[in-house]
Amino acid sequence: MSFLIQMPKLGHTMTEGTVLKWHKRAGDNVREGEAVLTVETDKAEIEIESPAAGVLARVLADEGVVVGVGLPLGEIVREGETASDLTASVVEAPAKTASSNSGAAVSSPQKAASAAGAKRVIASPRAKRIAAERGIDLSSVAGSGPDGMITEDDVRKIGEKKIAEQPTAQMPASTPGFATEGLAPSRREKLTRIQMVGARNVTSSWKEIPHFVQMVRIDMKRALEARQSINAAGSRVSVTDVILSATVLALKENPRINASYSDGERLIYDQINLGIAVDTPDGLVVPVIHDAGALDIKGISARAAELAERARNKRLRPADIENATFTVSNLGAYGIENGTPVIFAPQSALMFVGAIHDEVLAIEGRAEVRPAMQIAIAYDHRGLDGANASRFTTRVKALLEAPDFLGAVANTKTAAPERHREVRIEAVGESLKTEVRYGGLRWPLSAEDASAPDPVSSFLGALGSCLLMSLRVAARARKMQVGRTSVQARSNEKGHVKEIQVELQVETAIDDEQLHRLVEVAERGCHIRALIRDEVAFSLQVARI
Amino acid sequence: MRTITYAQGIKEALEEEMRRDPTVVLYGEDVANFGGIFRITSGLQEEFGAERVFDTPISENAFVGAAVGAAITGLRPVVELQFADFLFTTADEIVLKAGMWRYVHGGAFKVPMVVRCPSGAAGVGPEHGQCPEAFFMHSPGLRIVSPATPADAKGLLKSAIRDDNPVLYFEHKLLYATKGEIPDDEDYLVPLGKAAIRREGDALTLVAISAMVPKAMKVAERLAQEGHNIEVIDPRSLNPFDRPAIIESVKKTGKIVVAEESYKTLGVGAEIGAMLMEEVLEYLDRPLRRVAMPDVPIPTAAALEKFVIPNEEKIYQACRELLS
């Protein structure tokens, strides 16, 4: 069983990406989920993780090479196995020689086939699969099967011949400058891959989408107050989070804005995937808060912070930048008051957020100094007209000027976005190698010898530590003095766990009744205790040190 | 290694399991005194007594229903239908009771029973010569096995008797006299749900069921002489079905022929084809081919029976068509 690593498709417009760096070399062992290489796409640098544990059998595209979406980059095989024969000849094709600067960029085989014209290609599913892996254009293959169907053998024959000349990738030709005798550039800066593809995308968006822009000025006094009252309750939401929340709500009420225009149709999405433009040292990237409609302001805030952090550390995953349905670009931090943004195709609209300044506004006939802000929303005029766009624009304004939708949030606690703890255990022969991971932290519990705790002991350890932590939290909340604490957890030795006995030892001056109540609370609060089934006899004894 | 017949394999399995487990009982029409219509059970009543091996009246519905009751209350009955076709008489007990009651009653009990179903066209006409496995594959809760070799006949029957679910055990009448080797293992078991790769190859996957297996092996030899190394897979168990075995093989070969003695429409091959469409379409290089009984009653006249039964030549032609 082998796994091909392919160039991912990270958006409707992406047709190719660049191999930036291989973190592994052919022959290296890889773990499942371990970063194998970094590719650069039109939007970001993305680490591609191994789909399985095994060995990187082959590298099929060298660093710096541009590869079409869906084409293979490398192959992972399980240990002890060899690379698949489906792509056997690809390995012989040196990717290096193909990375020259000549010619046009490679596109995916599907695209090549459709470009070839109206000729319908009849090929077996297997033949299509192999052709796609090898980047072979099926329209150029003669079929020998029933009714002229292209079979596996037909593709293999072509493959053997063509693969050597098939350009795995090329850098786009450099565009000629307008340098003349009189005006020579002092130096040339090559755009990064992200910038280059970005340049191409804005060009096509600008050329193809008839833009119109609506601008409004918004009195932000109450929005800022609402933010303060939320944060007074212990949260840390930003002004941007408030603006994003209002935007999401307005999008829910105006679903046609959360849409794409395509060939005489509006493709309307119920799910709101909010792209947020983030500035990084390498340029603008646009991570996406998926299903933002399902999040409240705290959820949006947490997710936005997480994505911005990932973006700045170049840790964005492919899923983090896919499928935005609407984008917010906030240049307020740079003091920009207003602008006329360019939509990211195929989205229908993009909102530009300006800086908040004190301004003199006319409030009920009087001149008042208020924190004010301008937004500019660009719309695709093919799918939207000025009237339905205005309903959205003015709704965003109205929500921010009367942010009652945030009122309830200030006093309620909301669940943080779900994160999972992870424990990784490998069995090598008789031994268990255990590693606990949480966020960026890792604790190996044993070396690769036979000294790892068995599963039940691990569980008892988790139970004991959870009870202790729960006890300390409960004591702190009740302002009870607790000194040393220790716990002993024990179960029957063999077979299914039938009984668990726990003894807690606590150094404290509180009286017996208080101590027992404290332990009761601790037991109730212990997440691991809650996992134990009713059939298991559980006893919890308390003693003083 | 010993060489035994398929019929011997079945008998040994019955003897060994009855000696091993006193809750195993055996009954059916003529199984005791006469020793079974195909003489599989001769001598068993002498050894195990009339309480454990006995004859029943001619009422399949009643004695299969009784087996469901016996299984629920702690025995492991093995009942013999003289012909697999009689399953239709017992369908209420098999489909609705045996297959469903463990589930319907929330797992309050198990239904460990085996129904032996002699199957296959052998000059016995439309009502005594069918291979009705596919009818019952459609129904939930039933385990279905169709051994093709003496070793599997024994090993699968032993596993079937020990299984806590109702098992329909299809024994092909024309295989009873076939011989084969069996390991000397004292307690030889073949697990349910595990296919056997009878011959490894990479040019084509030929799935053969029950009496089609020896025919498939001959076809494979003939094709090998012509330079095509095909793979022959005997699923052995139809429920649970070893999907990965077939999927892995098709990933390798890209071509598949299914040979079976069930009717073609909605037969085992139809299910395999649907599974491949769902799971590994992109590995198929040719359309699926099924060699099966045409959708007609099996004729009694020998010449006509021969005409409809899937034979070596039909299997060979189907393979050739895909290999061209």
Structure tokens at B9: 């394999």
B188 vs A484, B40, B191, B241, CA distance in Å? 61, 19, 10, 21
Contacts 24+ apart (CB under 8 A), A518-525: A518/A471, A518/A474, A518/A475, A518/A478, A518/A480, A519/A471, A521/A470, A521/A474, A522/A467, A522/A470, A522/A471, A522/A473, A522/A474, A523/A467, A523/A470, A525/A470, A525/A473, A525/A474
For A441, what's the count of Cα atoms within 13 Å in the CB-facing half-sphere? 5
**Tokens found for residue A45:** 């640098």
DSSP 8-state class, residue B173: G
Contact (Cβ atoms closer than 8 angstroms) between residue A51 and residue A75: no
Q: What is the C-alpha to C-alpha distance for residues A197 and B181, in angstroms, rounded to an integer?
A: 68
Q: Look at residues A133, A150, A152, A132 and name the one whose alpha carbon lies nearest to residue A141.
A: A150
What distance in Å separates residue A152's CA from the closest CA in chain B? 6
**Partner-chain contact B286 A125, CB within 8 Å:** no
Q: Is the bond leading into B132 cis (omega within 30 degrees of zero)? A: no
Q: What is the rounded distance in angstroms from the CA atom of residue B71 to the CA atom of residue B52?
A: 14
Contacts of A88 in chain B (CB under 8 A): none
| Disruptive mutation site among A124, A156, A157 for chain B (greatest number of B CBs within 10 Å) | A124
**Spatial contact of A111 and A67, defined as CB atoms under 8 Å apart:** no
Known catalytic residues of B? 128
CA B297 to chain centre: 20
Size of interface A-B (CB pairs under 8 A): 23
pLDDT of residue A106: 40
Are the C-beta atoms of A134 and A163 separated by less than 8 Å? Answer: yes
Q: Is B254 in Cβ contact with A152 (below 8 Å)?
A: yes
> Residue B179: in which H helix or E strand, if any?
strand B179-182
How far is the CA of B290 from the CAs of A37, B130, B217, B256, B266, in angstroms? 45, 17, 17, 9, 11
Q: What is the pTM of this model?
A: 0.48
User: Which residues lie below 8 Å from residue A35, measured CB to CB, with a gap of 6+?
Assistant: A23, A47, A48, A49, A50
Residues of B in contact with A128 (CB under 8 A): 282
Residue the block writes with tokens 């936005």: A304
Residues in chain A, overall count:
545
User: Going by C-beta distance under 8 Å and a sequence separation of 6 or more, which residues neighbour residue A428?
Assistant: A448
Chain B: residue whose CA lies nearest to A127: B285
In our burial notation (b when 16+ CB lie closer than 10 A, e otherwise), range A157-183 reads ebbeebbeebbbbbbeeeeeeeeeeee
Interface of A with B (CB under 8 A): 124-129, 145, 151-152
A78 Cα distance to chain centroid: 27
pLDDT value of residue A450: 63
For B276, name the nearest residue in chain A, comparing CA atoms only. Answer: A125
β-pair type (B76-80, B143-145):
unpaired
Pairwise CB contact (< 8 Å): B254 & A145: no
- Specify burial of residue A400 (Cβ count, 10 A radius: 0-12, 13-18, 19+): buried
- Helix, strand, or coil (residue A332): helix
Mutate one of A3, A126, A130 to test the B interface: name it (highest B CB count within 10 A).
A126
B178 Cβ neighbours under 8 A, 6+ residues apart: B5, B6, B149, B150, B214
Q: Whose structure tokens read 């999907």? A: B243
What residue in B sits closest to A155 (Cα-Cα)?
Answer: B285
Residue numbers in chain B where pLDDT is lower than 50: none
Burial of A295 (0-12, 13-18, 19+ CB in 10 A): buried
Tell me how far apart the 2 most distant CA atoms of chain A are, in Å.
95
Residues of B in contact with A145 (CB under 8 A): 286
ipTM: 0.74
- For B321, name the nearest residue in chain A, comparing CA atoms only: A146
A153 to chain B, closest Cα gap in Å: 9
pLDDT score for A18? 85
B247, B276 Cβ separation under 8 angstroms:
yes
Q: Which residue has the tokens 């003015």?
A: A394
Q: Return the pLDDT at A443.
A: 76
Sign of the four-CA dihedral B111, B113, B115, B116? positive
Cβ distance A125 to B284 less than 8 Å, yes or no, reads: yes
A chain contacts of residue B284, beta-carbon cutoff 8 Å: 124-126
Q: Which of left, alpha, beta for B210 (phi over 0: left; psi -120 to 50: alpha)?
A: left
Sequence-ordered list of residues with C-beta below 8 angstroms from that of A51, at least 6 positions apart, any chain:
A3, A5, A32, A76
Cβ-Cβ contacts under 8 Å, B285 against chain A: 124-127, 151-152
pLDDT of the residue at A439: 64
Tell me which residue of A260, A226, A266, A269 sits closest to A246, measured CA to CA.
Answer: A226
Angle, vertex CA A66, rays to CA A63 and CA A72, nearest 5: 85
User: Does the bond joining B191 to the residue before it have cis omega, within 30 degrees of 0?
Assistant: no
Tell me how close the Cα of A150 comes to any Cα of chain B, in angstroms.
9
B129 SS3 class = coil
The whole-number pLDDT of residue A351 equals: 93
Q: Is B284 close to A128, i.e. CB distance below 8 A?
A: no
Local mean pLDDT, 10-residue blocks, chain A (545 residues): 78 77 87 86 78 84 82 82 52 36 39 46 88 80 82 80 46 46 73 74 87 93 88 85 92 91 87 87 82 89 88 79 89 85 90 91 89 94 90 92 71 50 73 72 69 81 90 87 88 87 90 89 88 88 88
